[in-house]
């Protein structure tokens, strides 16, 4: 299923049995605003772990009614994160979300080999964008975690994203391995990697339809492909934009938000359960969209 906007995702989640989300170090007003809005929509059930008195005080500030929400008192943010990870790893919650804790400490707890959420997979970031004027949501990886991935890492990052897209109903996701042009050029390593990823696709990304090297305009505009005479199975229809490095992803993502007025949700993939790692300045709607997409992937595939 291809969603046109975040509201469609939220509506779809409301039709499914609720799962449970655990917030690590939950004493952050922006996070609690997202909890408030998600609860109003009936998206998920919550466990909040952090300094209980401060959580109650901040909940009053953002008009969040904590009745029926489990709050576990743990003042130390690292200890709260470790407890939250254990809750998810043990199956008492389905989704992990970062609150007021340093990102490196948060990810360290996720990757803890003893009681974390580690799998035999690289962690990677999947961004989901709602772009004004564009006819559906579009996904991008990895503009948030892996700085300059090699070919094997790009393969693993793509596998993470393809599996998630299939989990949310895109049985044959169309993947564009983005580069500056469509020609393979040894002086431009990203084009060499893109061709290699395309060649390994039948075994590495079963069910996906891929192409690369692919410029951005070809991936999102059929008109551009026709104008350039490029015949591609994903021309103008790419679901997933696989960027060559974090700089390209960061620039593209911020251009969507600040020039095009887009909205973003985001997930960390590769752990045993979806992980929501949003920035502090991300608005509540972006956080709620991340929650909705994570919940949809869990509830739909139970």
Same fold, 1-119+271-302 and 122-268: no
Q: What integer pLDDT is reported at residue 163 of this predicted model?
A: 95
CA 92 to chain CA centroid, nearest Å: 22
The residue-averaged pLDDT of 21-36 equals 94
CATH 3.40.50.720 fits 1-119+271-302, yes or no: no
Q: What integer pLDDT is reported at residue 1 of this predicted model?
A: 66
**Strand, helix or coil for residue 178:** strand
The residue-averaged pLDDT of 75-87 equals 97
What is the pTM assigned to this prediction? 0.94
pLDDT over threshold 80, residue 43 = yes
Kindly report, residue by residue over 225-251, the tens digit of the pLDDT. Answer: 999 999 999 999 999 999 999 999 999
Kindly report, residue by residue over 269-294, the tens digit of the pLDDT. Answer: 999 999 998 776 778 788 999 999 99
| Residue 45 neighbours by CB under 8 Å, 6+ apart | 18, 19, 20, 21, 69
pLDDT over threshold 90, residue 120 = no
Tokens of residue 162, six digits: 């393809």
Per domain, the residue ranges of the chain are 1-119+271-302, 122-268
Write out 111-169 in H/E/C secondary structure.
CCCCCCCCCCCCCEEEEEEECCCCCCCEEEECCCCCCCCCHHHHHHHHHHHHHHHHHCC
**Strand, helix or coil for residue 222:** helix
In whole angstroms, give the CA distance from residue 192 to residue 184: 6
- Strand-pair partners of 265: 128
CATH code for the part of the protein at 122-268? 3.40.718.10
Task: For the sheet with 44-50, list strands across it.
Answer: 70-73, 44-50, 19-24, 95-98, 275-276, 263-269, 124-130, 138-141, 240-242, 174-178, 209-214
- What distance, in Å, lies between the first and last C-alpha atoms of the chain? 17
The residue-averaged pLDDT of 54-76 equals 96
């Amino acid at each position: 299923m291809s969603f046109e906007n975040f509201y469609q995702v939220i509506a779809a989640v409301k039709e499914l049995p609720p799962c449970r989300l655990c917030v690590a170090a939950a004493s952050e007003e922006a996070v609690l605003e997202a909890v408030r809005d998600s609860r109003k929509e009936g998206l998920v059930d919550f466990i909040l772990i952090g300094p209980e008195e401060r959580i109650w005080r901040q909940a009053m500030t953002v008009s969040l009614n904590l009745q029926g929400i489990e709050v576990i008192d743990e003042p130390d943010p690292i200890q709260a994160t470790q407890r939250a990870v254990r809750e998810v790893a043990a199956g008492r919650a389905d989704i992990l979300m970062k609150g007021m804790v340093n990102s490196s400490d948060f990810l360290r707890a996720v990757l803890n080999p003893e009681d974390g959420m580690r799998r035999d997979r690289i962690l990677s970031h999947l961004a989901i964008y709602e772009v004004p004027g564009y006819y559906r949501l579009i996904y991008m990886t990895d503009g948030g975690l892996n700085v300059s991935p090699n070919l094997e890492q790009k393969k693993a990052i793509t596998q993470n994203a393809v599996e998630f897209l299939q989990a949310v109903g895109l049985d044959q996701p169309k993947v564009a391995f983005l580069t500056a042009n469509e020609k393979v050029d040894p002086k431009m390593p990203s084009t060499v990697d893109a061709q290699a990823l395309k060649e390994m696709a039948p075994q590495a990304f079963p069910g996906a339809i891929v192409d690369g090297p692919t410029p951005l305009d070809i991936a999102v505009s059929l008109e551009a492909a026709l104008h350039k005479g490029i015949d591609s199975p994903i021309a103008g229809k790419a679901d997933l934009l696989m960027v060559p490095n974090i700089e390209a992803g960061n620039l593209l993502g911020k251009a969507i938000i600040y020039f095009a007025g887009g909205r973003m949700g985001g997930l960390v993939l590769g752990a045993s359960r979806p992980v929501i790692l949003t920035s502090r300045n991300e608005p509540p709607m972006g956080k709620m969209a991340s929650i909705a997409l994570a919940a949809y992937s869990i509830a739909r595939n139970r």
